[in-house]
């Protein structure tokens, strides 16, 4: 292999020796030799000349305060799956990804390897999982995707729930022309981002990958990997509607997500069910945040649900009146721009720094 140029080398910023050891090992696995900076002033020297910057939580605040700090291709990498402050730091850093090791090390290796060909992943990726059946997870996923699209962001909505009936039906777009999962079941390896984007059904600028009405009921893991990798390259935001019972493809999607949102109705039995869902999520997803749908029948507060599940509360939302009829009539979940569902989606995207504003 020829000598790598400075841009081909990722910048690693941390003074945490254990984290640095992990990162050096993953760089070696990716075939790249990093520049290592132990503090922000050392980082500043090469800040603008590398394609990818990996920042440890120990240096995140210092780097965020650096001027000029904002740039593309910044990844925050930690080792504590329960550290709720990670994504707050990620927002202040303008990080495109938050990854927790060791669960998300494959994603990091792929990002690091991308330095060599300039193919750094771009999209913020949010997975949505229901804490119980019918919690409203698919509806929230579709509404998040619609809200991101309204912000001018290139958005991909991926239906990873084989038994969910099709996310296209939530949006009322089942007639849209383009590829569905059965068409991609044999996909693997590297898909061209632009070709995939152009081949998927589109509603305004929102692209989606859903099911058709045939009977394929599992997504092969290599297909999910190939689709998400290309989808993350070709979009600004990727939203994944995940099943509660995780299969291999869902695990793959969760491991590639910037954040997982667990949606739980404010009900005692929903908390019990969500505890079980959460146990399987914790093994593969990080960070996980809670969205509570209330009010519950006995007035349980969202903070009580968060305490019971020991999750950071990302948002609480009230029911969207009339939504059952909208969905049944194929009108989509976003009919009321000032309703609780759109408000919840907007605040979730804001908190993650998914601001948009200009067409992608």
Ligand X SMILES: Nc1ncnc2c1ncn2[C@@H]1O[C@H](COP(=O)(O)OP(=O)(O)OP(=O)(O)O)[C@@H](O)[C@H]1O
Binding site for ligand X (CB under 6 A): 130, 133-139, 161, 164, 319-320, 323-324, 327, 341
Output the residue with the shortest Cβ distance to ligand X. 136
Q: Which of residues 74-103 bind Mg ion (CB under 5 A)?
A: none
CB of 209 to ligand X, least distance (A): 16
My answer on whether omega of the bond before 102 falls inside 30° of 0, hence cis, is yes
Q: Which two tokens stand for residue 293?
A: 């749908």
Q: Judge whether 100 and 74 are in contact, CB under 8 Å.
A: no
Which ranges in 12-114 belong to alpha helices (H)? 17-30, 40-46, 57-64, 86-93, 105-114
CB of 299: closest distance to ligand X in angstroms?
A: 17
Comparison of 133 and 359: residue with beta carbon closer to ligand X: 133
Q: Which is nearer to Mg ion, 106 or 174 (CB)?
A: 174
What, of ligand X, Mg ion, none, does residue 252 touch, CB below 5 to 8 Å by kind? none
Q: Identify which of residues 136 and 201 has a Cβ nearer to Mg ion in the complex.
A: 136
Of 198, 146, 164, 126, nearest in space to 331 by CA: 146
- Subset of 163-182 contacting Mg ion (CB under 5 A): 164
CB of 224 to ligand X, least distance (A): 18
**Spatial contact of 129 and 281, defined as CB atoms under 8 Å apart:** yes
DSSP states of 221-259 as a string?
A: HHHHHHHHHHHHHH-SEEEEE--SS--HHHHHHHHT-SE
Binding test (CB under 5 A) with Mg ion, winner from 107, 127, 138, 289: 138
Per-residue DSSP letter, 145: H
Q: Which is nearer to ligand X, 325 or 350 (CB)?
A: 325
Alpha-carbon distance of 61 to 278, in angstroms, equals 30
Strand 288-293 with 313-317, pairing? parallel
Cβ neighbours of 72 (radius 10 Å)? 11
How many of the other CB atoms lie within 10 Å of CB of 14?
A: 25
The entry of Mg ion, ligand X, none near residue 323 (CB within 5 to 8 angstroms by kind) is ligand X
Instruction: Let me know: does 334 contact 147? Beta carbons within 8 Å.
Output: yes
| Interacting partner of 322 out of ligand X, Mg ion, none (Cβ under 5 to 8 A depending on kind) | none
Residue 339 contact among Mg ion, ligand X, none, beta carbon within 5 to 8 Å by kind: none
Q: Can the peptide bond before residue 295 be classed as cis, meaning omega within 30 degrees of 0?
A: yes
Which bin fits 253, alpha (ψ -120 to 50), beta or left (φ > 0)? alpha
Q: Which of 96/161 has CB closer to ligand X? A: 161
127 touching Mg ion, by CB under 5 A: no
**Between 120 and 129, CB nearer to Mg ion:** 129
Tell me the window of 10-18, 42-50, 135-143, 284-292 that interacts with Mg ion (CB under 5 A).
135-143
Question: If contact means CB under 5 to 8 A according to the sort of partner, which of ligand X, Mg ion, none does residue 341 touch?
Answer: ligand X
Q: x/- string (CB under 5 A) for Mg ion, residues 271-290?
A: --------------------
Which residues here bind Mg ion, judged by CB under 5 A? 137-138, 164
């Amino acid at each position: 292999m020829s000598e790598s140029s400075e841009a081909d080398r990722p910048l690693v910023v941390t003074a945490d020796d254990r984290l640095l050891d992990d990162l050096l090992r993953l760089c070696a696995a990716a075939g790249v030799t990093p520049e290592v900076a132990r503090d922000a002033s050392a980082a500043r020297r090469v800040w603008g000349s590398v394609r990818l910057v990996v920042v440890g939580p120990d240096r995140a605040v210092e780097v965020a305060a650096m001027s000029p700090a904002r740039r593309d291709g910044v990844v925050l990498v930690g080792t504590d799956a329960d550290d709720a402050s990670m994504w707050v730091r990620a927002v202040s850093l303008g990080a495109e990804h938050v990854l927790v090791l060791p669960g998300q090390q494959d994603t990091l290796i792929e990002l690091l390897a991308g330095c060599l060909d300039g193919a750094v992943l771009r999209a913020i990726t949010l997975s949505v999982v229901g804490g119980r059946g019918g919690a409203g997870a698919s509806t929230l996923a579709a509404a998040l995707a619609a809200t991101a699209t309204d912000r001018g962001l290139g958005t991909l909505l991926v239906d990873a729930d084989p038994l969910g009936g099709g996310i296209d039906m939530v949006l009322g777009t089942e007639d849209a022309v383009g590829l569905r999962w059965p068409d991609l079941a044999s996909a693997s390896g590297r898909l061209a981002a632009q070709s995939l984007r152009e081949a998927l059904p589109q509603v305004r600028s929102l692209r989606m990958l859903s099911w058709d009405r045939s009977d394929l009921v599992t997504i092969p893991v290599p297909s999910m990997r190939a689709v998400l990798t290309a989808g993350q390259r070709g979009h600004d935001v990727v939203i994944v509607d995940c099943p509660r019972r995780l299969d291999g493809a869902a695990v793959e999607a969760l491991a590639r997500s910037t954040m997982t949102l667990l949606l739980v109705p404010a009900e005692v039995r929903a908390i019990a069910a969500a505890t079980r869902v959460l146990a399987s999520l914790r093994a593969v997803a990080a960070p996980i945040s809670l969205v509570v749908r209330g009010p519950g029948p006995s007035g349980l507060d969202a903070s009580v649900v968060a305490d019971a599940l020991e999750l950071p509360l990302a948002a609480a939302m009230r029911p969207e009146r009339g939504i059952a009829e909208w969905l049944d009539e194929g009108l989509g979940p976003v009919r009321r721009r000032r309703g609780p569902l759109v408000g919840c989606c907007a605040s979730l995207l804001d908190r993650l720094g998914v601001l948009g504003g200009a067409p992608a």
